[in-house]
Amino acid sequence: MTELVLSIFDPNTLLPHRAGIAGLALALSAIDPINAPIQWEVTEDAVTLSWQGSDKEAIKWLLEQTYQIKRGLLIAPGLNLDEQGCFTFNQGMLSSFLQHGQQKSFVEDQKQPTQGKKKFYKTQTLNFMIEPDNPEISVSYTLLDSCYYTEAAKLAKDFGSGKPEVKTQILPGLEECFVNGPYKESSSNFLSLLFLPLACGYYQLPTFNRKSRSAIVIPEVQNLKAWVNLRQKLPSKVYANFGSPYGKFRASSSGEAALRFLLNERQLDDSLLFNVKYCEVYQLGSQPWNVNQSYIKQAVYRVSFKDDTLNLYQIAYQNLKPRLRPKQDSEGVWLAESKVLAWISDNLIANKVWYSGFFEFRKSTTIYLEDRRGLFVMTEYLNPNEQVFFDAVQGAFSVFLRNQIQQAQKQGRPLDYSQVTDKAIYRLQRPSTQQEFATALVDFLSQFRSQAARAAGPQIFWWLHQESNWRKARDLTLLAITTYKGKTKEEETVLEQEPTEESANVL
């Protein structure tokens, strides 16, 4: 009789191994133990497997129960996913664990003529509803015939040999470069890694330099039983709170992927007793030293579970969530992620204030009206000192804008709001030192006096002249002007002329 104990507290394991043990526990929860060739026990910190007979046959049977291909999609019954969920799991696997061409094969289309060595594969189209009363999104995928995880006999062949070689391709991020050789593992660690995909979160990231990118999130699990019970609620509870599985599959950045994953975990566990305390997110994309794989580690971030951070992210997501946009070259719609949400998320996972670096961000990114509205909501969550400073700058800009409107009316011309905004911002973004910026800001607040700045001078002076705050002050200054909301009908009329992202895409 063979007995194998996989513990999440084994000192020889890394985070992927511990998450793999949790994935194994989840897979076992969906298998009927009656007439099973293996027996198992899941405790709070370990999974114990035992069986009579051949090790290879036992592991082969377990893998066959865990991974299957149906309708051309790789599915895992233990995840209990609907059609959209199965699609996102399949696509997530293809852009992470199954990134290498040798790890999967597709169903060939016999109707297509053969042209040299080029192969034609069968594809299928699925329609997903993202928002009620809006057009559905059409997505196509190539029908999968087999893959690394469904070749159970091949995977079980080396089990028990002592030191099976696990190729880098199924462990995104564990190897920097293939020149270091294959990654070697013990039998027990190798087995746990085979179930790692069941514990991960998968996200498709916006393309960069015409290259596809993806992210996988690996959780830190402290209690196997509690984690499995919570994860079984995932399809019904989290998808209801966070939109469709396809919408959940798209993330604006790797930072947002980690925050959304942790927020999902918090929504599952209201008690916070057994919640995931942190996670690691692997950003995957192309690397110049390997042209055969499109999804190799580009960056790894460890993100801690913090209520304040998740609350800010949730507010940002609600106001800057992906939007449906019409395709330019064909019929249909696509889901556009917000660059502003990506920037905020990356600040949050780096433990910075959410508006950090707005000075540089605004220079490189067009902020449309929709994003400006979302940023305006975010400014309601500044601390007291930041709020006083922010209101003073907006008050001064309001006076400045009113003067510009009156001047345009006297000259009988329409006001170009973008030009007016750029004029004010250029005036305040030229200074490159704390002293120069403080001088320019005081001059601006003095020339365009407002009620918001009255009696706040000492507080503004004290906060601005702290060494660690002047760059924050510059970011807040530009943010205050960018997010300004009209206070009169004339100002609102001018602001409504700003271009939206949708109109810009059409143009």
pLDDT of residue 424: 86
Q: CA-CA distances (angstroms) from residue 92 to 149, 203, 205, 338?
A: 14, 7, 11, 21
CA dist., res. 152 & res. 28, Å (int): 16
127 forms beta bridges with: 138
CA dist., res. 31 & res. 27, Å (int): 7
Residue type, 127: N
pLDDT of residue 107: 87
Taking Cα atoms as reference points, which of 89, 212, 197, 70 lies closest to residue 143?
A: 70
Q: Which DSSP helix (H) or strand (E) runs through 383?
A: none
pLDDT of residue 64: 93
- Residues near 348 by beta carbon (within 8 Å), at least 6 away in sequence: 255, 259, 309, 312, 313, 354
Residue 503's SS3 state is helix
pLDDT of residue 76: 92
Instruction: Say which DSSP state 338 is in.
Output: P
pLDDT of residue 47: 95
| Residues of the chain below pLDDT 70 | 113-117, 131, 158-170, 172-183, 234-244, 268-275, 292, 328-332, 486-507
Question: What residues does each domain of the chain span?
Answer: 2-305, 374-506
pLDDT of residue 242: 44
Please provide the DSSP assignment of 406-463 as one string: HHHHHTT----HHHHHHHHHHHHHS--SHHHHHHHHHHHHHHS--GGGTT-HHHHHHH
In sequence order, which ranges of 278-368 are alpha helices (DSSP H)? 307-320, 339-349, 358-364
Contact 200, 221 (CB under 8 A): no
pLDDT of residue 280: 93
Express each pLDDT in 82-100 by its tens digit.
Answer: 888 889 999 999 988 887 7
> In terms of DSSP bridges, do strands 2-7 and 38-42 run parallel, antiparallel, or are they unpaired?
unpaired
Please report the sign of the dihedral spanned by the C-alpha atoms of residue 417, residue 418, residue 420, residue 421.
positive
